[in-house]
A and B are shown apart, each in its own frame.
Chain A
Amino acid sequence: MSTELEQFYEVFFEESSELLAEMEACLLGLDLSSPDPEDLNAIFRAAHSIKGGAGTFGFTDMTEMTHMLESLLDKLRKGEIEIRSEMIDTFLRAGDIIKGQLAAHRGDGAADEAAAAEVSNELKQFSEETTEALNIDKESTSSTTEQPDHKPNEAKNVVVESLPATSKTEQVSFNIEFSSSGINSKSLENLFSNLSDLGKFEKLLVSDKEQNCKLRLTTYTCEENIWEALAFVVNPSQLKIEKASQTEAHTSTKLDVSSSIQIDEITSDKPSKTAVETENSACEPYGFFSGAPAAPIETEKKVKTESHSDPSVEQNILEEKSFPTDTINSLPIQKQSKPNAPTTETTSIRVSIEKVDQMINLVGELVITQAMLAQTASEVDPVIYEKLNNGMNQLERNTRNLQEAVMSIRMLPISFVFSRYPRVVHDLASKLDKKVELKTVGEGTELDKGLIEKIADPLTHLVRNSLDHGIELPEKRIATGKVAKGTITLRAFHQGGSIVIEVGDDGAGLNREKIMAKATERGISIHEGMSDQEVWMLIFEPGFSTAEKVTDVSGRGVGMDVVKRNIKDMGGRIEIDSVQGVGTRITIRLPLTLAILDGLSVAVGDQMFIVPLTYITESLQIKNTDIKTVNGVGRVVHVRGDYLPVIALHEIFNIKPNATRIEDGILIILDAEGHKAAMFVDALIGQHQVVIKSLENNYRRVMGVSGATIMGDGKVALILDTTGLVMASHKDSL
């Protein structure tokens, strides 16, 4: 059986991960003062769904944890317990435990059993708060050492039976089952006498080989009282109380029973049989309702016949539980049918990223073929070949649309990344005793899947940094006339061919003097004439930290430089705006996809290169007099007051250029990480959006080249490693 199930494991894992994420988002968004019942329902449903799957696939540890969660959530949504912030924390930790268990089942690490036990204990204690009357303190201490699969029972029964049975006007029968092991006969007698005080009391089975006791009590009292009567004698984890049926069952349909078979029994047979029957049907993996549409008649008879047999046989059936989690299968759902909950289900298929990339390649080829055809077609007489021309135009449109559509497959909304920060902020804020609200804007903004994966860590670092260094403590905020609760805003939007992601806070802002002092201390070269922008950028220098004391939150300043490097590696830029006392905003600008780049094509001799547009500030021609030679080796050009080193592409790449003198060619002014240089080329050709291809897949790294692309004519053009070239030019000439 397990081999059959295994193929669904992966689906279950992914599904559970999604459910956990949803649950976490709901928990974090919950308004504690007036929780939205729909939210509580959604959280409950997530736990419930994971439990169902975990049970089916045999991940018992997950079933147990989700069951505990579910029990407490069930009480919350029914309003039996008030939700408190400690509960949210416990829920979040329970989510983490389940994530850990999930990872363990996936073969990734081991679940933390100690933590799981702790969390489940906490959940249990919360659960028990409603039932303080039951005096369960004793239980919680004694049961911690019990077999875990018994644990759910306690919670379950407490919840279940407190519902309809509380109606004190009608008599209700309860089936009580427990293990008498360790209970001496005197206590047992005592117990029986206590129970008989509560109502009509029958012993169905007293202490068989397994020391199981089965009793039946017909009473006006509610289940809590029965529980109370038993709790001091019987180990609660071994105790099972179940509403059996009502003696006057025929008078009421409201207090219904598990199956019609049972109703038949009640009217025709002795009550003792009924009790067994109830147990039996409750544990059956499936069954039918007699008289229900399409219910099989023979089966019912068969079941009935069986039910008339010796009770010990019934006992066997009971013990032949086919599922390890059977003991938890009687959780109630007090569910008002609540429709209109927005569904998150979308019909989708999972496709490997290789297939998508292969499609992107093929479409790229198609675009090239189309461009070549268009070139050829443009040479024929448009009057004679009007149809051909029309066809060509349509082909071009279709190809472009197809390319866009294929590219969009790799695009995902940034909510995939943003969704993790409520938790990060929540945890960190409570750790730092700060009050912080996280706002997200533009979660639907899409970017390439590859970028999504890469942006997460740098962004996490920025968010943590804002919380740690930006947002002040509540007292300090109030003292400066701000509201106690700080705000961190994550915003994403498209601008041109880029996606812009901002991390803003309304905290203390950056302090110019402090940064300058720290930079000096760190041996970073500064000067008084630096603009604020330049000063802010110092925090991205390696080894820089503005925190007066090192915290375990943002660490020692390692990281901000890594953040900047990561962003750069993605072809992006990072900027800081800050006003002291008002706040700080860090802006990240990324290309929409890793695979596409806006580039300027330039010619040197008979070769063509692509310069990424993000590094270009301007291009110009200069006069001879603006060219200076430094030490007879390096050349610099005088542009707008700056002396910039010259990158002569033909020299670097050993190409015979058309223009050998700088004043005959074109200079492209580049700015890479604040370093400027002038690149000398023959001519500018044009601006393109190019698809980045790796040179290293089949060849190796080439100095001065970051990749390659395929131009409209099918030829390969190399993309220049602008940063590398600019850095090298500074080393050479300065």
Chain B
Amino acid sequence: MSLQQTVTSIDSVSSAANQVLNEFLTFRLGNEEYGIDILKVQEIRGYDAITQIANSPEFIKGVVNLRGIIVPIIDMRIKFKLGVAEYDQFTVVIILNVSGRVMGIVVDGVSDVINLDIDQVRATPDFGSVIDTKYIMGLGTADERMLILVDIEKLMTSEDMGLVDQTLN
């Protein structure tokens, strides 16, 4: 099943890449570097003024006010048991806009935005990533760096994250 999905994901990457190079926002989580489609990223902000939501999983830190919108904040470090979940002035939240929903993810740090060409992207090998391969579009290489390209929309709306009432889907 995951092979089938990987193949289709790569196809979609390649078809897009033929017209425009895909831009990815890269961030660090534990020892690995990840890339997500820049078009899904709304903004990057600090971590503050969070309101806890009772009885929610530990990785859901709560909600914040983003210019009048209530936005849930998910700590990916806790979700994927990577890095140290500390909150200070350097803690970074990536605000995503996926499937019409706005949500924030806490990561170890944002690196940069890079362009990836189709020949820089390989299919996902069966490797022991913390993120299930079904959410990985492929591996990208740029200047000796290896990026795990995450289908962030699929991941964030999945049952695993519990961010969306699944009955709606």
Contact between A and B in the complex (any CB pair below 8 Å): yes
Q: Residues of B contacting A364 with CB < 8 Å?
A: 68
**Which of chain A's residues have a CB closer than 8 A to the CB of B68?**
361-362, 364-365, 693, 710
Residue pair A652, B71 in contact (C-beta under 8 Å): no
Asked if residues A702 and B56 are in contact (CB atoms below 8 Å), the reply is yes
Q: Which among A457-465, A519-527, A713-721 touches the partner chain?
A: A713-721
Interface flag for B65 (CB, 8 Å): yes
- Which B residues between 52 and 68 are near A, CB-CB below 8 angstroms? 52-56, 62-65, 67-68
Q: CA of A693 to CA of B65 in the docked complex: distance in angstroms? A: 10
A607 interface contact, C-beta 8 A = yes
A362 CA to B70 CA in the complex, in Å?
A: 13
Residues of A with C-beta under 8 A to B56: 702
What 0/1 readout, one digit per residue, does chain A (681-705) give for beta carbons within 8 Å of chain B?
A: 0000000000001111111111111
Report whether B69 and A697 are in contact in the complex, using a CB–CB cutoff of 8 Å. yes
Closest A-chain residue to B71, C-beta based?
A: A698
Task: Count residues of chain B with CB under 8 A from any CB of chain A.
Answer: 24
CB distance from A371 to the nearest CB of B (A): 13
Is B71 a contact of A703 with CB atoms below 8 Å?
no
Contact residue among B51, B63, B102 (Cβ-Cβ distance under 8 Å from A607): B51
Flag whether A654 is at the interface (Cβ < 8 A): yes
Please count how many residues in chain A sit with their CB below 8 Å of the partner chain's CB atoms: 31
A231–B1 alpha-carbon span in the complex (Å)? 82
Judge if A289 is at the interface, Cβ distance under 8 Å: no
Interface 1/0 per residue, A705-734 and B, CB below 8 Å: 100101001111110000000000000000
In Å, the complex CA distance between A270 and B83 comes to 106
A323 within 8 A of B: no
Which residues of B have CB within 8 Å of A361? Answer: 67-69
Q: CB within 8 Å of A: which of B2-41?
A: none
**Contact partners of A715 in chain B: CB under 8 A:** 49, 51, 65
Q: Is A653 a contact partner of B54 (Cβ separation < 8 A)? A: yes
| B-contacting residues, A103-140, CB 8 Å | none
> Are the CB atoms of B63 and A695 closer together than 8 Å?
yes
A607-B52, A699-B70, A704-B54 known; A716-B64 Cβ under 8 A: yes
- For B53, B163, B164, the residue with the greatest tally of chain A CB atoms inside 10 Å of its CB is B53
The CA-CA distance from A627 to B150 in the complex, in Å, is 55
The answer to the question of A655 belonging to the interface, with a C-beta cut-off of 8 Å to chain B, is: yes
A714 touches B53 (CB 8 A): no
Closest chain A residue to B103, Cβ basis:
A698
Q: Mark B76-104, 1 if CB is under 8 A from A, else 0.
A: 00000000000000000000000001110
Contacts of A713 in B (CB 8 A): 49
- Chain B contacts for A694, CB-based, 8 A: 70
Contact in complex: A716, B69 (CB < 8 Å) = no
Residue of A nearest to B56 (CB): A702
Contact B51 A718 (CB under 8 A): yes
Which residues on the B side are within 8 Å of A607 (C-beta)?
51-52
B54 near A654: Cβ-Cβ < 8 Å: yes
Contact of B51 among A365, A696, A717 (CB under 8 A): A717
1/0 per position for A352-370, CB-CB distance to B under 8 A? 0000000001101100100
B72 interfacial by beta-carbon distance below 8 Å = yes
Contacts of B55 in A (CB 8 A): 653-654, 702-703
Q: Which residues of B contact A714 (CB under 8 A)?
A: 49, 65
Known: A714-B65, A715-B65, A716-B63. A695 touches B70 (CB 8 A): yes
Contact with B along A518-558 (1 / 0, CB 8 A): 00000000000000000000000000000000000000000
B165 to A696, Cβ gap below 8 A? yes
Q: Is the CB of B165 within 8 A of A698?
A: no
Which residue in A700, A702, A703 is a CB contact (below 8 Å) of B164?
A700
Partner of A699, one of B52, B54, B65, B72: B72
B60 nearest in chain A by CB position: A699
Q: Are A698 and B51 in contact (CB under 8 A)?
A: no
**In the complex, what residues of B have CB within 8 A of residue A710's CB?**
65, 68, 70
Report B129 CB to chain A, min CB distance, Å. 26
Chain B contacts for A702, CB-based, 8 A: 53-56
How far does the Cβ of B63 sit from chain A's closest Cβ, in whole Å?
5
What's the Cα separation between A368 and B69 when bound, in Å? 13
Chain B nearest CB, measured from A653 CB (Å): 3
Q: Which of A361, A364, A697 has the most CB of B within 10 A?
A: A697
**Which one of B49, B52, B103, B162 has the greatest number of beta carbons of chain A within 10 Å?**
B52
**Given contact pairs A653-B54, A654-B55, A716-B64, A699 touches B69 in the complex (Cβ within 8 A):** no
B52 and A708 within 8 A (CB) = no
Q: With A and B bound together, what is the CA distance between A701 and B53 in angstroms?
A: 11
Which B residues lie within 8 Å of A701 (CB)?
165
Does A699 lie within 8 Å of B163, measured CB to CB? yes
A698 touches B54 (CB 8 A): no
How far is B76's CA from A9's CA once the two chains are assembled, in angstroms?
Answer: 51
Minimum CB distance partner of A700 in chain B: B165
Q: Per a CB cutoff under 8 Å, which of A652, A654, A704, A708 touches B70?
A: A708
Q: Which residue in chain A gives the minimum CB-CB distance to B73?
A: A699
CA distance A368 to B102 in the complex (A): 21
List chain A residues, Cβ under 8 A from B62: 716
In the complex, chain A residues 630-663 whose Cβ is within 8 Å of any chain B Cβ: 652-655
Cα A697 to Cα B168 with chains together (Å): 12
| Cβ–Cβ contact A698 & B65, under 8 A | no
In the assembled complex, 19 residue pairs joining A and B whose CB atoms fall closer than 8 Å, in A order, are A361-B68, A652-B54, A695-B63, A695-B70, A698-B102, A701-B165, A702-B56, A703-B55, A705-B53, A710-B65, A710-B70, A713-B49, A715-B65, A716-B51, A716-B62, A716-B63, A716-B64, A716-B70, A717-B51
Interface residues of B (CB under 8 A from A): 49, 51-56, 62-65, 67-72, 101-103, 162-165
Known: A368-B65, A700-B163. 14 other contacts (CB 8 A): A361-B69, A362-B67, A362-B68, A364-B68, A607-B52, A693-B68, A693-B69, A698-B101, A699-B163, A704-B54, A705-B53, A708-B70, A716-B49, A716-B70
Enumerate chain A interface residues (CB-CB to B < 8 A).
Answer: 361-362, 364-365, 368, 607, 652-655, 693-705, 708, 710, 713-718
